[in-house]
């Protein structure tokens, strides 16, 4: 029998984000520090160290998921960090971490963040005290609200539709005020993926030229950095990670 090929493009609303598999996702990606986490942390820490401690009034983590290290990194510079997330499962995890204290597995991540940026609060719970967990998605963003915005493995990992990927990136850019800065990470060329033996989540394979096509005309000081494929992660079909920094231009 001939193999059947799926022809429909799955958009963001077609996936059940409330059912995101928090436990298996953490187990595959964040229960210990993978080489690519180290790469992202070094890159993002450099980004935040350019700001004075407490110099950012309000920052965004878009599609925060259950990943605490982008929130830790922002705490060196931000007085308030909004973790915007649509998934009920991820919101519940984030709220538990903030209310009852973070899982021990996050401590080595915080130790590295604090070694790189001694301006970070003495403890991880203190750093997370700056985080507000907010239910919502990219469609809820208000133009120009934030001083900086961060997005990690979101726009390319939540839709198969390139137009929708681009619209999500545009909402991300517009979430910061003119002159505000952006930091982001993207799985490179990752097709739709599974966490463990779970359902297929929609993704849009992107490379550096796709990121330039989406970001170059609406930002300045765009910089892309490549991290090699991490062999310690499950085989997601990616070719590495792309890291981005940019600035929303003044009008």
Ligand X SMILES: C[S@@+](CC[C@H](N)C(=O)[O-])C[C@H]1O[C@@H](n2cnc3c(N)ncnc32)[C@H](O)[C@@H]1O
Q: Rg (Cα) of the chain, in Å, rounded?
A: 17
Residues 94, 26 contacting (CB under 8 angstroms): no
CB 112 to ligand X: min, Å: 16
219 and 246 in contact (C-beta within 8 Å)?
yes
- Counting residues that bind ligand X (by CB under 6 A) gives 19
If one asks whether residue 85 binds ligand X (CB under 6 A), the answer comes out as yes
Q: Which of residues 131-170 bind ligand X (CB under 6 A)?
A: 137-138, 152-154, 157-158
* Residue 51 touching ligand X (CB under 6 A): no
Looking at beta carbons only, is 64 or 133 nearer to ligand X?
64
Q: Which stretch binds ligand X (CB under 6 A): 82-90, 105-113, 119-127, 174-182?
A: 82-90
Closest CB to ligand X among residues 55, 207: 207
Q: Which residues of 1-15 are buried (b: 16+ CB within 10 A; e: fewer)?
A: eeeeeeeeebebeeb
Q: How far is the CB of 4 from ligand X (least distance, A)?
A: 27
Provide, rounded to whole angstroms, the least separation between the CB of residue 190 and ligand X.
10
**C-beta closer to ligand X: residue 36 or 154:** 154
C-alpha distance from residue 35 to each of 71, 153, 240 (Å): 19, 16, 11
Among 45, 87, 175, 192, binds ligand X (CB under 6 A): 87
Q: Of these, 45, 90, 97, 245, which contacts ligand X (CB under 6 A)? A: 90
Read off φ and ψ for residue 245, nearest 5 degrees: -130, 150
Distance CA(76)–CA(83), nearest Å, equals 16
Greatest CA separation for the chain? 63
Pairing of β 176-187 and β 241-247 = antiparallel
Distances (CA, A) of 85 to 20, 93, 123, 136: 11, 11, 24, 5
| C-alpha to C-alpha distance for 214 and 234, rounded to whole angstroms | 28
Name residue, tokens 């005309």. 217
Q: Give the angle 239-242-247 at the CA atoms, nearest 5°.
A: 165
Contact track, ligand X, 203-242, x by CB under 6 A: ----------------------------------------
What is the pattern of x (binds ligand X, CB under 6 A) and - over residues 59-78? ---xxxx-x-----------
Which residue in the set 21, 76, 86, 180 belongs to the binding site for ligand X (CB under 6 A)?
86
Residue closer to ligand X (CB basis): 77 or 151: 151
Q: Which residues bind ligand X (CB under 6 A)?
A: 12, 17, 20, 62-65, 67, 85-87, 90, 137-138, 152-154, 157-158
């Amino acid at each position: 029998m001939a193999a059947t090929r799926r022809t429909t493009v799955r958009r963001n609303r077609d996936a059940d984000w409330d059912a995101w598999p928090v436990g298996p996702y953490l187990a595959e990606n964040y229960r210990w520090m993978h080489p690519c986490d180290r790469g992202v942390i070094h890159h993002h820490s450099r980004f935040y160290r350019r700001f004075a401690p407490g110099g950012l009034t309000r920052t965004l983590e878009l599609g925060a998921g259950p990943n605490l290290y982008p929130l830790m990194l922002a705490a060196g510079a931000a007085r308030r960090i909004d973790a915007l997330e649509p998934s009920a499962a991820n919101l519940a995890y984030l709220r538990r971490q903030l209310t009852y204290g973070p899982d021990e597995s996050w401590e080595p991540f915080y130790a590295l963040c604090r070694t790189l940026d001694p301006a970070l609060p003495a403890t991880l719970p203190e750093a997370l005290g700056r985080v507000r967990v907010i239910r919502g998605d990219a469609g809820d963003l208000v133009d120009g609200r934030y001083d900086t915005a961060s997005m990690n493995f979101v726009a390319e990992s939540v839709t198969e539709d390139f137009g929708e990927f681009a619209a999500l990136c545009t909402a991300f850019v517009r979430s910061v005020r003119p002159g505000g800065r952006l930091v982001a990470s993207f799985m490179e060329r990752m097709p739709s993926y599974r966490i463990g033996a779970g359902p297929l989540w929609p993704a849009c394979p992107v490379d550096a030229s796709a990121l330039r096509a989406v970001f170059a005309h609406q930002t300045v000081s765009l910089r892309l950095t490549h991290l090699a494929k991490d062999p310690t992660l499950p085989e997601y079909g990616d070719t590495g990670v792309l890291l981005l920094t940019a600035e929303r231009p003044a009008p």
